């Protein structure tokens, strides 16, 4: 094992090849295959459309996610030219971007035996269109920001190790990598960004890492000021974060225990490796490092809608394994074999990362193969023809997502039947697929999505005069993800500000009233009674 680990293997070049291969597999079909969380996908297609229409996150629409969560699909839409290519191309570029710090950090700090499996693991986690912990056939780009955040934290934690192979630009490159990783997390989902800043603050206490960590803090501050000069929405972003935290920010002790139970094997492995390291080093810094790998990740995972996957634990195991091999090399430089404890740590780290790597590769390959074959049902909205809904394993079995998309397509037909092309269309439900699906001008001041119990509740919500200020046509589904509680919350305002234009089996189409009480534009062929808003709407689970 020692001989293999010291073989001259071009780790950085191989990891860049892996990233390029992942990007190629994502972009090759030019379509998005989805089996679940279609409602979540609509958030980011709408976001890409908003960006392409000139809107700016938190300035023109509300969101608790960082602006990069919308600029990434917008970049993919710009590069591919289609809504079906927005997420695959966006995540391909993200994978290539992350490959640079992954290759530098792992290539200079870990032996090839550990660096290659761990680097492939991180890159495939970013590239794969599957929520962590779910089946290889549950294809969706939903919650892609979580996979970016976990992978970026996994690289940043590896920087606790002192470089084994330094070069003349080591400090500068380390600072640049840490800055890029932290900014990516801060402006994608701030939960990960806060943990990244905590890790950098901890690294200021480590003498061998202090210089580049301090330089990174300075670069983050400068970059943040430059970004704000263009974005000009940091205060609005914090306000959206505050509102969301009031709705779903707190987690109980039982929530944390549930997250721990879902990842108990990984924590057991971390405990074994950490004890092997601490028994040898007996330093508080190492103890604090393993604590950083264990606790913040548990807090993040308890907030996420994912059944498994605290990747900071994987980082702790990998770094601990590297530390054991270094200690062994320092004490027994001429040894031909590793000790049983080091060999066990290497084996345990492989057991943690290799199965998930294979899982992600299979899922990514399925997305490519099914996309190339144009499997599944194409969405009927004009700009969504390159998005295809399939049943898991092509079983033909109807799922909740089939019912959901049929409802959306019924709403699309309602919009198409209006006598005048509508503008500023919004939806009183989880997400709005119609603006992006029909290339309509988006509303200003509304929200990227409305998820009851996550970013809106009966006590904490965006005021209706602000949320609907620029909306001209409001689509109210009779069946959807969460229209019923939203209608209970906003119904009184909607009765005053809008009037029914059309009613179908699945939708009520509302048009804004003018000041004299008439609808601002005669958009429909028929009108329903105003009392339709009082009818019962049936909510459903998003998955």
Per-residue pLDDT of 2-61, as tens digits, reads 444 445 789 999 999 999 999 999 999 999 999 999 999 999 999 999 999 999 999 999
The reply to whether the predicted model has a pTM over 0.85 is yes
CA-closest candidate to residue 160, choices 219, 202, 216: 202
Quote the CA–CA distance of 81 and 290 in Å, as a whole number. 45
DSSP designation for 57: B
Task: Please give the pLDDT value at position 15.
Answer: 97
Relative orientation angle of helices 284-303 and 144-158, to the nearest 10 degrees: 180
* Strand bridging mode 498-503 / 507-512: antiparallel
Closest C-alpha among 140, 190, 189, 185 to residue 40: 140
Contact assessment for residue 106 and residue 115, using Cβ atoms and an 8 Å cutoff? yes
Q: Point out the residues of the chain with pLDDT beneath 70.
A: 1-7, 249-250, 329-338, 515-543
Is the distance from CB of 372 to CB of 28 less than 8 angstroms?
A: yes
**How far is it, in rounded angstroms, from Cα 49 to Cα 348?**
45
Q: What is the pLDDT of residue 532?
A: 52
In whole angstroms, what is the distance from residue 58 CA to residue 237 CA?
5
pLDDT at 19 (0 to 100): 98
Cα 116 → chain centroid: 24
Rounded to an integer, what is the distance from CA 397 to the centroid of its chain? 28
State residue 522's pLDDT score.
40
Strand partners, 498: 512
How far is 301 from 309, CA to CA, in rounded Å?
7
How high is the pLDDT of residue 540?
A: 43
In this predicted structure, what is the pLDDT of residue 362?
Answer: 97
Give the pLDDT confidence score for residue 535 in this predicted structure. 53
Q: Could you identify the residue written with the tokens 């603006």?
A: 435
User: Could you tell me which of 131, 132, 101 has the C-alpha nearest to residue 119?
Assistant: 101
- Tokens 């994608």 sit at which residue? 188
pLDDT (0 to 100) of residue 158: 97
Does an H or E element contain 474, and which?
strand 473-477
pLDDT of residue 332: 46
pLDDT at 340: 79
Give, in degrees to the nearest 5, the angle at Cα 458 between 70 and 232. 30
């Amino acid at each position: 094992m020692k001989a293999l680990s010291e073989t001259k293997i071009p780790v950085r070049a191989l990891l860049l090849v892996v990233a390029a291969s992942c990007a190629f597999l994502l972009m090759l079909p030019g379509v998005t295959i989805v089996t679940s969380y279609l409602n979540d996908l609509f958030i980011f297609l709408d976001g890409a459309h908003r960006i392409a229409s000139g809107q700016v996150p938190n300035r023109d629409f509300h969101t608790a996610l960082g602006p990069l969560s919308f600029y990434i699909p917008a970049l993919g839409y710009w590069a591919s030219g289609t809504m079906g290519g927005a997420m695959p191309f966006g995540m391909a570029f993200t994978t290539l971007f992350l490959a640079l710090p992954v290759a530098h950090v792992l290539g200079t700090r870990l032996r090839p035996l550990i660096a290659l499996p761990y680097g492939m693991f991180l890159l495939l986690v970013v590239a794969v269109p599957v929520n962590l912990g779910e089946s290889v056939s549950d294809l969706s780009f939903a919650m892609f920001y979580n996979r970016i955040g976990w992978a970026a934290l996994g690289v940043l934690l590896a920087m606790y190790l002192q470089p084994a192979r330094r070069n003349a630009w080591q400090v500068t490159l380390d600072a640049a990598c840490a800055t890029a990783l932290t900014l990516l997390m801060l402006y994608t989902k701030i939960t990960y960004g806060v943990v990244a800043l905590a890790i950098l603050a901890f690294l200021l206490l480590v003498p061998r890492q202090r210089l580049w960590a301090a330089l990174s803090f300075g670069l983050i501050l400068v970059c943040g000021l430059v970004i704000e000069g263009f974005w000009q929405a940091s205060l609005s972003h914090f306000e959206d974060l505050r509102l969301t935290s009031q709705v779903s920010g707190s987690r109980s002790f039982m929530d944390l225990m549930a997250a721990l139970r879902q990842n108990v094997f990984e924590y057991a492995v971390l405990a074994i490796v950490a004890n092997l390291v601490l028994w040898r080093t007996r330093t508080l810094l190492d103890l604090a490092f393993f604590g950083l790998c264990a606790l913040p990740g548990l807090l993040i995972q308890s907030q996420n809608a994912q059944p498994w996957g605290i990747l900071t634990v994987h980082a702790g195991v990998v770094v601990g394994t590297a530390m054991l091999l270094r200690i062994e090399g320092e004490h027994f430089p001429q040894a031909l074999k590793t000790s049983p404890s080091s060999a066990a740590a290497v084996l345990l780290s492989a057991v943690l990362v290799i199965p998930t790597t294979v899982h992600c590769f299979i899922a990514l390959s399925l997305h490519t193969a099914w996309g190339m074959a144009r499997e599944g049902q194409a969405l009927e909205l004009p700009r969504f023809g390159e998005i295809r809904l399939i049943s898991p394993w092509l079983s033909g079995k109807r799922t909740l997502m089939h019912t959901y998309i049929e409802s959306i397509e019924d709403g699309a037909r309602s919009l198409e039947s209006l006598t005048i092309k509508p503008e500023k269309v919004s939806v009183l439900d989880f997400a709005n697929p119609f603006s992006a699906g029909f290339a309509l001008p988006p509303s200003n001041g509304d929200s990227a999505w409305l998820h009851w119990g996550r970013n809106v509740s009966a006590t904490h919500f965006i005021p209706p005069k602000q949320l609907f200020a620029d909306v001209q046509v409001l689509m109210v589904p009779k069946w959807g993800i969460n229209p019923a509680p939203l209608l209970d919350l906003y119904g009184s305002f909607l009765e005053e500000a809008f009037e029914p234009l059309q009613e179908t089996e699945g939708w009520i189409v509302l048009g804004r009233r003018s000041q004299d009480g008439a609808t601002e534009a005669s958009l429909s062929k028929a009108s329903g009674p105003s009392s339709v808003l009082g009818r019962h709407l049936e909510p459903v689970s998003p998955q």
